[in-house]
Amino acid sequence: MIDTNWLVKTNINIDGFADTIKDIIKDETPDTIFNKSTRGNKSVQYDLINHFDKLQHITNRITKEFETIEVLQNKKFKPLMGWTVYGHQGGYHKVHNHVGQHGKLDHISVVLYLETPNSKGWQQRGQFYFFLLDDDGIKYHEIEPTKGMMIIMPTKVMHGSYPQPRGLRQTLNLDFGEA
């Protein structure tokens, strides 16, 4: 079982990732977002679960990065869920976790930023927020994402993002289970 109270941020080379996603979704219909964490009248989300074969070079690159994270070392992972979100002005994610996706606490969630808007004009200190438990209780944290930043965390970590003032925020979101 994987420890479920941590979060790691790192940067990876995402060259070609956005083009792969664009090619996959060119003939897809966006998901309805009324029951998702994605919000904003200009935001769209696409399910990628049926396209893992086309995402294999991306998922391989991500799981290779897992080898650098102590709590994930010596484990093999396979993708379980995947989606991409195009957030525009006013877009955000309400606080949520990914446990509801597959009901497991010991899976891994990844948020990979394929595009981020210019940070000037943000009212908050950070665009991505999350909560972790420590000896003093639940602590609130923020991260200012940049293009190529990958956030890796257990599926139970509660997180979200603030509304963006302008620009495009595109994320690739994947949940992994042990193979």
Residue 1, pLDDT score:
52
* Token couple for 86: 């195009």
CATH architecture for residues 8-178: Sandwich (2.60)
Residue 40, pLDDT score:
85
Q: What is the DSSP letter of 27?
A: T
Residue 35, pLDDT score:
74
| pLDDT per 10-residue tile (average), the chain, 179 residues | 80 96 94 80 91 97 96 93 92 87 76 85 70 90 93 94 87 94
In Å, how far from its chain's centre is CA 84? 8
Using alpha carbons, select from 17, 54, 1, 3 the residue that is nearest to residue 150.
17
